[in-house]
Structure 1
Amino acid sequence: MLFMQLISRKSSRWFIVGMTSIFIFSIMLRFWQLGRFNTLVFDEVYYAKFANNYLTKTDFFNAHPPLSQYIIAISIWIGSHLPFGQEIVNNETGSTLAPWTYRWVNALTGSFIPVVVGAIAYQLTRRKSYAFIAVLLIALDGLFLVESRYALNNIYLVNFGLLGQLCLIIALQDWQFKQNIWLALAGINFGASAAIKWNGLGFLLSIYLLWIFAWIIEFLAPPKKSDFISPLRNLTQLNLLQFTLNLFFIPIIIYSLFWIPHIILNPKYGFWEMQKQIFSYHQRIGSGPDTHPYCAQWFTWPLMLRPVVYFYKNTGLLDKPEPSLPPLPSDIGNPKVNPLIYDVHAMGNPPLWWLSAVAILS
């Protein structure tokens, strides 16, 4: 018995060391040369500019809910008031800013996503090894890494959605008063995810589907006695009031509240009219190769046949030095003769994506 306790303590110690090491590694990957490139990369042309518009009180139309731009605005405000890192700047947002000032909160948020994923994996399985594998796979995911290093909105959408799932799973294992607190926190995070982008509703809709499936399983195959039952089976233990209040009304309230600052600064459209304008905008812009010639068809995404391109510059095609690029190596000679290509592509972690696709299909 004592021997097993010693093994358990040693295992827990190594688990903490491993998780901490991966977290530090995630931070290093995301913050290394965060100022590259000294320009707006990919959809930073929208989100970093819109965030700065909030700070300068400039009217604009936002084609997505505003929460991510609020967060980036806070990032800019804090970063621009720090007494370091202001040597390399640009005016792409409409103000003179160092590029890291609109990126660092994204990098910090992205560093925590592997930790949240590991917590979910542990809560679902109670196995440290599974949690460690989940953390490692997410930490090495190229798509999450690239999204974390630029002022984009998807990293916040995922973070709030995962936090909502984690809070819900914890709530399903606690039948005391604290359960309602965790359920409310889940609803707040799901509402925040939708306030980043409407795609964030997918996290909440997946919970609705799981709730339906849990009732079907409860009816067809009641759980057998075992050492461990997935907390998701406890979804049927939530009463209708708990479910609707915390996982329907609270997300709606949170989503609505996040619009208040935007509407105060941009009073042209009210709340409901703003939702109509966003829907109409996305209906107009369309999708597919006609709109984005380099895009990959949605059914090829799990196979990762075409990575997403975020940035591409060929020095051989430039007539003069490009200030957004790092200085060219001294031994390169004439960049027209010996061109360098700077590019950023985002591709997921193949084992994670492929095995996840198989798991979903099965």
Structure 2
Amino acid sequence: MSTTPQGTPQSTLRQRNVPGSSKKKNGSTEDLDSELDSLVKANKQATKKHSEWDYKVALTVITILAFISRFWGISHPNEVVFDEVHFGKFASFYLERTYFFDVHPPFGKLLFALMGWLVGYDGHFHFENIGDSYIANKVPYVAFRSMPALLGSLTVSVTFLIMWESGYSLPACIVAAGLVLLDNAHIGQTRLILLDATLVLAMACSLLCYIKFYKLRHEPFSRKWWKWLILTGFALSCDISTKYVGLFAFVTIGSAVVIDLWDLLDIKRPGGALDLKEFAYHFGARAVGLILIPFLFYLFWFQVHFAILTRSGPGDDFMTPEFQETLSDNVMLANSINIDYYDTITIRHKETKAYLHSHDARYPLRYDDGRVSSQGQQVTGYPYNDTNNYWQILPANDDHQMGRHVKNHELVRLRHLVTDTILLSHDVASPYYPTNQEFTTVSIADAYGSRSADTLFEIRIEHGKPNQEFKSVSSHFKLIHNPSKVAMWTHSKPLPEWGHKQQEINGNKQIAPSSNVWIVEDVPSVPADSPRRQRQERQVKTLPFLRKWFELQRSMFWHNSQLTSSHPYASLPYQWPFLLRGVSFWTQNETRQQIYFLGNPIGWWIASSLIAVYAGIVGADQVSLRRGIDALDHRFFFLAWATHYFPFFTMGRQLFLHHYLPAHLASCLIVGSLLEFVFNAEPSAEEPSYQDVKSGKKSAPGPRRHITARERFAGQSMVPAWIACAVILSLVFAGWYFFLPLTYGYPGLTVDQVLRRKWLGYDLHFAK
């Protein structure tokens, strides 16, 4: 039997179009309505089946292309590239079980360690320098790179599924996924041992899972409803457990949830507003699925992190002595000794690693801003070991009793041995901080005479107990000036020439910050063969998980906030949507090959332009509503873009182009949705029945766009949408192909070829 293009048998159509064939029940028009309704339903089922097959074929093809584009030539270059020095190294530390410190949560790094473990790698290579050979060092780098390549390929598929689940036409789905598929930045970032593939996939999965959850809002607390709610929470957890910018996905989903909960209290909704008990159930379920469960998963990855890293390693310095005592083979703790009064010690700042130092030079009479100093002896921070770093620790009463241990909260004086002066702080402004006190030294006569009180300092051990013994290396402490209660502090900004470019030491009125912490690095007055230096067998201790977790969180957040130094390839958020600059990842002079991290300019400019078009659509909101577009449509995608982009304007840390990748994925979704909006492409198969349209009844709102049966019957043309799809992807493909050598690192380019790719002054290598 032949069929129509919609899949409905022609004989049925002909039979139903015979004049008078519908005049049953005395020619009632209800009979005609019933037959039309049956015809629409049959047509809908056939069209839906046909449409789903088209979607599946397109998804399969796009997924295959994604894998090809991400895995093609993944073994090149066979050298360490850019930030592979960090994340490859962390994978090796996991496999060696040696403790390390990083500002990012552990989930993404654990995936790399898992891949290394699966291929039998022992972690012997530590990725020290960009350009180190993987082949010579026998590193399974292709396996490591395959992990992000796999995740990056799946991101393209998830992008297609987001559009499909939201009810968009096939051209719209293909455009959105195609923009990600052919984007050089997404490809470049997912072919190397980097975290962004994990981050972007987790963000995309959170959007997909929430859309599927939202579509079940008329089946609350059903099994599927719970499944997609929990999966949304799991995806969010993976997002924030990879990088802390994953918090932006929580803001995206959280905003949509707040709107959804508000709608449940709307008395105009079908069935009326929920009572408070029912609303509490809805609120509680979302709180469990989107807050509690993600937080528990987040904690779980840290538990795995601590369980694996049981040996002392390069991350010890970032943790407290109590934490370090939970690690085996901790050399620093093994070498710590008790500090006695009259010992000579060297004191080092925990964060900047500068020694407490002094010398004969004086502070100038006036600083550049006109303020007057005390003209006292300079006390500075010095990065190298030197005899001017030697200080003798004296008791407050100078009783000359030798062999007595220094203890927590005791008052001491510090004598600078080379100049034979005593450390002092007083109510004089420091060189750089008018609100902070100057540190200087005074003569011994003044220290025990008129300036006696100003030379007293309290030893305050971090997390120390009363009468706890003060030790070298293991006792992290703050030196608190007794009369004024300021903490000795330093920072990395160097003093002018009069201060020999050394660090300023001053008194910080804010005692709590960890930047006030110092360590006694050594006790030079104790000989190497002294019984005090004998190593004792130390038992590995334990700490409660939450205490270790809180300590690591504090350290991670602080060090993350300190990433403010300039970087030659850093960029600002306003530059990202327009792709004004990229990042040089790798170069090879002999072959003139280079990897330059850069998005597809044509694709990015199209996406950024259509985001501007969206602003016009917001202004025509009533028109949008008349077209039957639900709130969880491209507005949801715009929300995802905005929450993943605008917060970066408030950050003071280093920022790079890769920070825009989650927002770029959301912008690709916006492009697909606006393509359908503009060209009114093929609607979904979830339209209301003929009887609903005839009676004016509205179907329940959802993420899919609805049209009337008459529109379906007429069969809207998809030609304009397909033409637009073809034009956009052709342009994007051309951009991808043109910049392909910079993404894949080969072939090498001539000077002329490099210059032709400097569209916006990109700082490419080998341009001359």
Quickly name the TM-score band, shorter chain normalised. 0.7 to 0.9
Pairing 1:309–2:315 present: no
CA distance in 1, matches of 2:100, 2:613: 43
Shift of 1:222: 5.9
Which shifted more, 44-53 or 90-99? 90-99
- Residues 170, 182 of structure 1: 8 Å contact kept: yes
Q: Which residue of structure 2 lines up, in the alignment, with residue 323 of structure 1?
A: none
Task: For residues 96-137 of structure 1, give each alpha carbon's deviation from its aligned partner in whole angstroms, at most 9, with x where no partner exists.
Answer: 303212100111111111111111112223433322221111
Which shifted more, 92-101 or 270-279? 92-101
Q: Which residue of structure 1 lines up, in the alignment, with residue 595 of structure 2?
A: 343
Change (3 A) 1:169 1:93: farther
CA distance in 2, matches of 1:131, 1:57: 44
Q: Which residue of structure 2 lines up, in the alignment, with residue 276 of structure 1?
A: 554
Pairing 1:2–2:44 present: no
Task: For residues 26-51 of structure 1, give each alpha carbon's deviation from its aligned partner in whole angstroms, at most 9, with x where no partner exists.
Answer: 11111111111112212111111101
Shift of 1:78: 2.9
Pairwise CA RMSD of aligned residues?
3.1
CA distance in 2, matches of 1:23, 1:40: 28
Q: Which residue of structure 1 lines up, in the alignment, with residue 304 of structure 2?
A: 261
Aligned match of 1:24 in 38, 41, 64?
A: 64
SS in 2 for 1:259: helix
Pairing 1:142–2:148 present: no
Shift of 1:357: 6.1
Summarize the alignment of residues 36-115 of structure 1 with structure 2, pairs less than 5 Å apart. 36-79=76-119, 96-115=138-157
Aligned match of 1:249 in 279, 284, 292?
A: 292
CA distance in 2, matches of 1:297, 1:201: 20
- Residues 44, 150 of structure 1: 8 Å contact kept: yes
Pairing 1:296–2:551 present: no
Shift of 1:170: 1.1
- Residues 202, 235 of structure 2: 8 Å contact kept: yes
Q: Which residue of structure 2 lines up, in the alignment, with residue 355 of structure 1?
A: 610
Aligned match of 1:240 in 262, 283, 297?
A: 283
- Residues 49, 93 of structure 1: 8 Å contact kept: no
Q: Which residue of structure 2 lines up, in the alignment, with residue 181 of structure 1?
A: 227
Please report the TM-score for the alignment, with normalisation by the length of structure 2: 0.39
CA distance in 1, matches of 2:81, 2:267: 51
Aligned match of 1:201 in 247, 252, 256?
A: 247
Bigger radius of gyration among the two: 2
Shift of 1:77: 2.7
Change (3 A) 1:239 1:218: closer
Equivalent pairs counted in the alignment come to 319
Which shifted more, 249-258 or 267-276? 267-276
Please report the TM-score for the alignment, with normalisation by the length of structure 1: 0.78
SS in 1 for 2:595: strand
CA distance in 2, matches of 1:302, 1:220: 38
Pairing 1:159–2:178 present: no
CA distance in 2, matches of 1:249, 1:103: 33
Shift of 1:242: 0.9
Percent identity between matched residues is: 24
Change (3 A) 1:358 1:46: farther
Structure 2: gaps spanning 5 or more residues: 1-6, 10-42, 122-130, 271-278, 311-318, 324-547, 615-637, 643-669, 671-768
- Residues 581, 598 of structure 2: 8 Å contact kept: no
Shift of 1:59: 2.1
Q: Which residue of structure 2 lines up, in the alignment, with residue 211 of structure 1?
A: 257
CA distance in 2, matches of 1:16, 1:50: 39
- Residues 118, 135 of structure 1: 8 Å contact kept: yes
CA distance in 1, matches of 2:106, 2:579: 30
- Residues 52, 94 of structure 1: 8 Å contact kept: no
- Residues 190, 200 of structure 1: 8 Å contact kept: yes
Change (3 A) 1:248 1:94: farther
- Residues 52, 93 of structure 1: 8 Å contact kept: no
Which shifted more, 92-101 or 190-199? 92-101
SS in 2 for 1:291: coil
SS in 2 for 1:103: helix
Instruction: Identify the structure with the greater strand proportion.
Output: 2
Change (3 A) 1:214 1:309: farther
CA distance in 2, matches of 1:21, 1:162: 19
- Residues 107, 149 of structure 1: 8 Å contact kept: yes
Change (3 A) 1:284 1:134: same
Higher RCO (Cα < 8 Å, 6 or more apart)? 1
Q: Which residue of structure 1 lines up, in the alignment, with residue 214 of structure 2?
A: 172
Task: For residues 119-156 of structure 1, give each alpha carbon's deviation from its aligned partner in whole angstroms, at most 9, with x where no partner exists.
Answer: 11122234333222211111112211111101110110
CA distance in 1, matches of 2:613, 2:83: 31
Change (3 A) 1:277 1:216: same
- Residues 79, 102 of structure 1: 8 Å contact kept: no
Shift of 1:278: 0.7
SS in 2 for 1:309: strand
Change (3 A) 1:357 1:28: farther
CA distance in 1, matches of 2:191, 2:63: 15
